Amino acid sequence: MRYLPHTDEEIREMLEVVGRKSLDELFCSVADGCRFDGTMPLPEPLDEWALTEHVARLGEAMKVDDTYRVLIGAGSYHHNIPETIRSVMSRSEFLTAYTPYQPEMAQGTLQGIFEYQTLTARLLGMDVANASIYDGASALAEGLLMGLRIAKKKGKVAVSSAVHPHYRQVAKTYLEPTCYELVELPVGADGRTDLSGLAAIDDLAAVAVQSPNFFGVIEDLEALGKQIHAAGLLFITAFTEPLAYGLAKNPGECGADIVCGEGQSFGMPRSFGGAALGMFACRDEFVRNMPGRLVGETKDLDGKRGFVLTLSTREQHIRREKATSNICSNQGICTQIATMYMASLGGSGLRELARLNYAKAEYFKTRLRASGAKIVFDSPTFNEFVVEFKDDFRPVYERLLEQKIVAGLDLGRFYPEHAGRYLFCVTETTSKEIMDTVAGEVKP
């Protein structure tokens, strides 16, 4: 709840300084058709305590609260957060953000970003990672634009239909006012991207594939990469669940040129959709075309280790409209959280946690099959998988909701051809009891 401390007298004084008589006059430059006219239909004002109670009652009206078990991932995942993160992130050295343009004022911020870049590059198997982008969807859009810059004189990019629907929509929004075109590639019966029609698409610069994809299926990135490179195209890999790379081969090992995705799984709560973290990395040969900030390590005049922004000629305050860093607001606090998460678990911890997530999902598959359900795609999956039921699942869904279990996502919302099929997700936070309960309700 915002607290606005300015009195009417202070507001009048500020208006006088800028030469305006009222707040309405302050916004007179906004066209009439875009400005609200009239009195907003608000209830009578409440005191602070009554307003707090009113907001609490509104919150209680929500169908799902923290006591529910939500078996939906679809790009946002519930994982346990190590207590070390809550403890260290509460320190003012990390929580007080400072724009790192002046290195002498921001060594702590710069060092934190440098550590994040190092861990991200190792996780994704790439040469260099940037200081993050807004979220996974905008990271993919920026990756596609980067591919077009590198390819030059090419007008199309291809994106798998198994990439998160929201990511594809953001990419379309980015490209809509430009001369570039986005082409969607089909998905085969195995839930993996079908590149058989790639040769028929001319003027193509890059191909983007997500793994694990929206259906939870792990794509054969190595085979896809060879096919894409054989066609003379750039290979872009997206992701929504970076934990999968604790088990699966990372994109760099599979030949990816650009890797971009969502880092929310690494220590950030879901929080109704935010805050998020766009992770972005590429091969060293493409670094000058990469958007976002880069922090580098150097030495000062005394030979002491220091950190600075590097390749700053890419930034819009220097190159203006020619800059590649056209989304400069990195997620500073989110990068610190992700860094602490990766450092807290370490390589062996990530592998162990990924193996636990995989094992739980496989157990749930087995129980659902035994209850008469069908796992739609036979390909390997991580965390998520698509289920088809013999009978209408909606009555079962409602019964489970009464037991405070949100049982999957109906894919018909995004894929009409999969209407009635449900996308389920389990992580280390999902108990055997919950999985057994769902399977028990499904069983006729």
Give the Å distances, CA to CA, from 293 to 261, 265, 283: 16, 22, 16
Q: Does domain 83-341 have CATH number 3.40.640.10?
A: yes
Cβ atoms of 434 and 78 closer than 8 Å: no
Exposed, middle or buried, 217 (CB in 10 Å: 0-12/13-18/19+)? buried
Cβ atoms of 282 and 259 closer than 8 Å: yes
Low-confidence ranges of the chain (pLDDT < 50): 1
Question: Looking at beta carbons, which pairs linking 105-108 to residues 24 or more positions away fall under 8 Å?
Answer: 107/306, 107/307
Q: What is the rounded CA–CA span in Å between residue 337 and residue 81?
A: 10
Give the Å distances, CA to CA, from 105 to 89, 311, 336: 19, 19, 18
397 CB contacts (<8 Å, ≥6 apart)? 407, 408
Q: What is the pLDDT at residue 16?
A: 92
Q: What is the pLDDT at residue 283?
A: 97
The CATH classification number of 69-81+353-442 equals 3.90.1150.10
Q: What is the pLDDT at residue 315?
A: 65
Q: What is the pLDDT of residues 139-187, one digit of tens each?
A: 999 999 999 999 988 999 999 999 999 999 999 999 999 999 999 999 9
Question: Tokens 């009439």 identify what position?
Answer: 32
- Number of CB atoms found within 10 A of residue 62's CB: 9
Q: What is the rounded CA–CA span in Å between residue 90 and residue 205?
A: 44
Domains 69-81+353-442 and 83-341 belong to one CATH topology: no
Q: What is the pLDDT at residue 362?
A: 97
Q: What is the pTM of this model?
A: 0.87
Q: What is the pLDDT of residues 225-243, one digit of tens each?
A: 999 999 999 999 999 999 9
Determine the length of the chain. Answer: 444
What residue spans define the domains of the chain? 69-81+353-442, 83-341
Residue 384 belongs to what H/E stretch?
strand 384-388
Q: What is the pLDDT of residues 101-146, one digit of tens each?
A: 677 778 888 888 999 999 999 999 999 999 888 899 999 999 999 9
For 330-364, the DSSP string reads --HHHHHHHHHHHHHHHHHHHHHHHHHHHHHHHHH
Question: Tokens 């796992």 identify what position?
Answer: 375
